[in-house]
């Protein structure tokens, strides 16, 4: 048993999709994933769909049925909402369905429409991921919350805006050739440092953009893949989720992400690996500093050291541990409910040698990739371990 | 193997909870369920929480972490949203986790705050369960949609407002002694017929109310119950979910609920029973006619005949098949995200002989109960079969 196989993936370009609804976007991603998997629509037994702000953007809840309709399948379909980790959590529900033998073929994914909202309305919608009583009412926004966590980190460990700029530069560089990315252009450290301030220490290039987009994956059991002779060399060998207090004030620390640590511990245990075994990772860089927190929470770096690793280039495409080869949330874009399953889509292609940045990754059996998707100020975290098994 | 046991249940009174947030309400229900189960908080391995309109009512999404915090547990916690079937779907995710051996102890439930919204705002929030593009934009509301389905039924099979009134009278009668119910008072057919029209053929008493409330249940594996000597005689022996097109226009029929049929077929198959084996049911009567559609979709009555059964009193407390002994959504109240798990809570108490209306039900082994929770105009349906096994 190696775990559920990623039989097929699909993803719309991330960016501005004038006048396309979330369901339209998901239809494109889901049809691509089903075709890529080579399974019949009728074979899909369950659908788990991530969406965060449909109520705000389109007045639309209850998107489970819409997702199934968009995919052209008649299976039970449930919307999973875990803020920006919505589709990571949807993938996890799908993984558990296949792992447990309750389904052989599951469609997972997510979609988000955001650019039809004004910046103020999008900021308000995103704030629903924080604690409405203890954080949002006093005026907290997400750039503010992450900036607070960053300032605490700088105070505890040191670090500068210039250090963070290296992360933005790296992720933009990774996106240059990725046709699905929102920003296919390189920036340099000066661009980042000279950009308008959003919320100190964050400038514009420290922040992921407002995006529209959808992503999907078809997960199948190992037995199903074998019986139907599917070309599905990547298995999900570990899946973990962690939950922390929603409000920052209730956390033990502002520089440590307990939910990520819990999710990683569970995923590593299931996969039978440790952080040193990971060859490539897609992590949740909604802000540059979020990538620092992720790399430490995942155990790749000791607390307080990942910011230096960024400065030293250890996580670039030709570094020891390539991180966010897709361009990350920063440059690929961040249609929030689609981000977690987009990580699965991009990482699967990277591991299968069919991504524009696959040169940075081996597609040989034993190569290990990891995805990390976070919700809110990491009150929710979902980690998946993917491995080339054939 | 008999299936996951319902080790404990909890529920706030349904009604108007001035100034209590959804998280406050869930804290009460969850703590009651955990105490009722007799398990340690630390034993809870997963949380699945249903909420529908937190974004509209409290500007609050991402309620998974809030639900875990309210319950005092640190397990992975995910919000499930499936409109008015949100917590039915959350229960199903929990059942699957236990069935599959992925968890021995799961907390499931839901909460909704609604009465802080104006009637217009609540109507708009509820409309997010329908198709925003094809139904809501042209002006459809939920009373309108269900009234349309009722008029189609009357045209196809016959039926009158007076027939429907018998359902409201029955459900109000069942709630009279239920301290958790929103309306603990009897009405008669004349009251129903003389009430103001909401949307023809519906008068005020054909419609479930706007409510606040929360409900929860602790599900454990059979092995865990035995090892820890838990008093948990009720097992969930079948669980099914069905999904249909979100918009009414895409349905095959307005008088038939395919999602309910699919959910019931799956639940019956898993439980190894048929509709004739069910002794007592809690069904989704968001409108009186919804109970008619449910009873037919569940196979208790042939198409077009459940309305006559209502008139004949076959589903009253002393009828052949008592339906909605709790008072149903109509009289118990309908805090939408809490309704599905409230059905589990009420039915478990009924089957365990500790509900005020338990006299109408045997608590002997072999007694079978059923819950039916629907979302939107039954685009989503979740059915559970509960059985007294010890």
Give A103-150 as a DSSP string. Answer: -SEEEEEEEE--TTS-HHHHHHHHHTTS-IIIIITTT--HHHHHHHHH
Residues of A in contact with B78 (CB under 8 A): 80, 82, 89, 93, 241, 380
Is residue B25 a contact partner of residue B17, using CB atoms and an 8 Å limit? yes
What is the percent of chain A where pLDDT is above 70?
Answer: 100
pLDDT tens digits, A183-194: 999 999 999 999
Tell me what pLDDT residue A1 has.
61
Which helix or strand (DSSP H or E) is residue A348 part of? helix A339-351
**Res A2: pLDDT:** 77
Residue B382: both structure tokens together:
């979740």
Q: Is A199 a catalytic residue?
A: no
Q: Which residues contact residue B273 at a Cβ distance below 8 angstroms, ignoring those fewer than 6 apart?
A: B237, B238, B368, B385
Looking at chain B, which residue has its C-alpha nearest residue A89? Answer: B78
What is residue B164's predicted lDDT score, i.e. its pLDDT? 97
Per-window interface: B 189-208 vs A, CB < 8 A: none
Residues of chain B found within 8 Å of residue A68, distances taken between Cβ atoms: 243
User: Pairing mode, if any, of strands B234-243 and B46-50?
Assistant: unpaired
Question: Coil, strand or helix: which one is B210?
Answer: coil
Whether a cis peptide bond, with omega within 30° of 0, leads into B201 is yes
Nearest to B165 by CA among B322, B321, B10, B289: B289
Strand pairing class (A280-282; B105-112): unpaired
Chain B stretch 85-104, residues whose beta carbon is closer than 8 A to a beta carbon of chain A: 89, 93, 96-97, 99-102
Task: Kindly identify which residue of chain B lies nearest to residue A48, measuring between CA atoms.
Answer: B80
Burial class (CB in 10 A: 0-12, 13-18, 19+), B43: middle
- For residue B145, the Cα-to-chain-centroid distance in whole angstroms is 19
Contacts B97 to A, Cβ<8 Å? 96
pLDDT at A19: 87
Q: Tell me, yes or no, if A334 is annotated catalytic.
A: yes
A132–B59 C-beta distance less than 8 A = yes
Q: Locate tokens 């069919």: which residue?
A: A354
Of B17, B172, B284, B334, the active-site residue reads: B334
A140 near B CB under 8 A: no
**Residue contact B243–A136, C-beta within 8 A:** no
A92 pLDDT exceeds 80?
Answer: yes
Please state whether A83 falls in left (phi above 0), alpha (psi between -120 and 50) or beta.
Answer: left
CA distance A57 to B115: 23
Identify the residue among A81, A106, A269 best suited for mutation to test binding to B, counting B beta carbons within 10 A and taking the highest: A81
Token pair of B48 as six digits = 């699945």
Token reading at A294: 């992720």
Give mean pLDDT, residues A103-121.
97
- pLDDT over 70 (residue A313): yes
CA distance A241 to chain B (A): 6
What is the C-alpha to C-alpha distance for residues B326 and B216, in angstroms, rounded to an integer?
Answer: 16
Q: Give the CA distances from residue A349 to residues A32, A276, B68, B322, in Å, rounded to whole numbers and listed in that order.
A: 13, 22, 35, 55
Cα separations in angstroms, B298 against B26, B159, B172, B276, B385: 30, 20, 22, 10, 12
> Is A364 exposed, middle or buried (CB count within 10 Å of its CB: 0-12, 13-18, 19+)?
exposed
On average, the pLDDT of chain A sits at 97
Q: Is B178 exposed, middle or buried (0-12, 13-18, 19+ CB in 10 A)?
A: buried
Q: A342 with A361: CB under 8 angstroms? A: no
Integer Cα distance of B382 and B235 in angstroms: 17
Q: Is-contact B144 B199, C-beta < 8 A?
A: yes
Cis peptide preceding B227, ω within 30 of 0 = no
**Predicted complex: ipTM over 0.85:** yes
Q: List, for chain B, all residue ranges whose pLDDT scores fall below the cut of 70.
A: 1
In this prediction, residues A53-62 reach a mean pLDDT of 97
Note whether A131 and B125 are within 8 A (CB). no
Residue A216's pLDDT is 98
Alpha carbon of B255: minimum distance to chain A alpha carbons (Å): 19
pLDDT digits (tens, 9 = 90+) for A191-219: 999 999 999 999 999 999 999 999 999 99
Q: How buried is A195 (Cβ within 10 angstroms: 0-12 exposed, 13-18 middle, 19+ buried)?
A: middle
Could you tell me if A6 and A174 are in contact, meaning their C-beta atoms sit under 8 angstroms apart?
Answer: no
Q: What angle do CA A163, A356, A345 make, to 5 degrees?
A: 85
A249/B contact by beta carbon, under 8 A: no
Q: Of A56, A80, A129, which has the smallest distance from its Cβ to B78's Cβ? A: A80
User: B60 to chain A nearest CA, in Å?
Assistant: 5
For position A342, what pLDDT does the model report? 98
Q: How far apart are CA A136 and CA B217, in angstroms?
A: 30
CA angle B14, B18, B22 (to 5 degrees): 65
Residues of A in contact with B336 (CB under 8 A): none
Confidence tier at A390 by pLDDT (50, 70, 90): confident
List of E strands, chain A = 5-11, 46-50, 77-81, 105-112, 197-199, 202-203, 213-220, 234-243, 280-282, 368-375, 380-388
Q: Does B241 touch chain A (CB under 8 A)?
A: yes
Q: Give pLDDT tens digits for A272-305.
A: 999 999 999 999 999 999 999 999 999 999 999 9
* Phi then psi dihedrals of residue A284, to 5 deg: -85, 90
Local structure of B110: helix, strand or coil: strand
Residues 6+ apart with CB under 8 A from B257: B244, B293, B294, B296, B297, B374, B378, B381
Buried b (16+ CB within 10 A) or exposed e, A320-358: ebbbbbbbbbbbbbbbbbbbbbbbbbbbbbbbbeebbbb
Tokens 């308000």 belong to A124
CB-based contacts of B100, cutoff 8 Å, min separation 6: A96, A99, A100, A101, A102
Position B19 scores a pLDDT of 87
Chains A & B: contacts with CB separation below 8 Å: 168
**Residue of chain B whose alpha carbon sits nearest to that of A59:** B128
Best of A50, A66, A76, A142 to disrupt the B interface (most B CBs within 10 Å) is A76
**pLDDT value, residue B1:** 61
């Amino acid at each position: 048993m190696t775990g559920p196989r990623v039989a097929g993936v699909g993803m719309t370009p991330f960016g501005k999709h004038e006048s396309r609804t979330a369901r339209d976007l998901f239809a494109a991603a889901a049809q691509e994933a089903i075709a890529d998997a080579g399974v019949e629509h009728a074979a899909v037994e369950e659908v788990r769909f991530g969406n965060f702000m449909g109520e705000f953007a389109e007045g639309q809840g209850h998107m489970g049925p819409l997702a199934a309709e968009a995919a052209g399948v008649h299976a039970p379909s449930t919307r999973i909402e875990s803020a920006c980790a919505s589709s990571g959590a949807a993938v996890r529900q799908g993984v558990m369905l296949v792992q447990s033998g309750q389904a052989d073929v599951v469609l997972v994914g997510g979609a988000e429409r955001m650019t039809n909202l004004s910046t103020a309305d999008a900021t308000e919608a995103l704030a629903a991921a924080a604690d409405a009583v203890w954080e949002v009412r006093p005026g907290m926004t997400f750039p503010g919350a992450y900036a607070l966590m960053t300032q605490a980190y700088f105070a505890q460990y040191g670090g500068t805006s210039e250090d963070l700029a290296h992360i933005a530069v790296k992720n933009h560089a990774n996106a240059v050739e990725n046709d699905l990315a929102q920003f296919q252009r390189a920036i340099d450290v000066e661009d980042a440092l000279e950009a308008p301030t959003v919320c100190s220490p964050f400038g514009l290039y420290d922040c992921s953009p407002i995006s529209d987009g959808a992503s999907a994956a078809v997960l199948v059991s190992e037995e199903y893949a074998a019986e139907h002779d599917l070309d599905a060399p990547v298995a999900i060998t570990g899946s973990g989720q962690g939950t922390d207090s929603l409000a920052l004030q209730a956390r033990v620390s502002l520089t440590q992400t307990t939910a990520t640590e819990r999710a990683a511990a569970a995923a590593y245990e299931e996969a039978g690996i440790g952080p040193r075994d990971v060859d490539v990772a897609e992590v949740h860089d909604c802000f540059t500093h979020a990538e620092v927190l992720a790399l430490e929470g995942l155990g790749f770096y000791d607390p307080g050291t990942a910011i230096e690793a960024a400065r030293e280039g250890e996580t670039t495409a030709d570094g020891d541990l390539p991180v966010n080869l897709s361009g990350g949330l920063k440059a690929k874009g961040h249609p929030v409910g689609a981000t977690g399953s987009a990580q699965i889509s991009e990482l699967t292609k990277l591991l299968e040698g069919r991504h524009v940045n696959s040169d940075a990754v081996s597609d040989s059996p034993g190569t290990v990739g990891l995805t990390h998707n976070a919700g809110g100020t990491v009150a929710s975290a979902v980690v998946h371990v993917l491995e080339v098994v054939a």
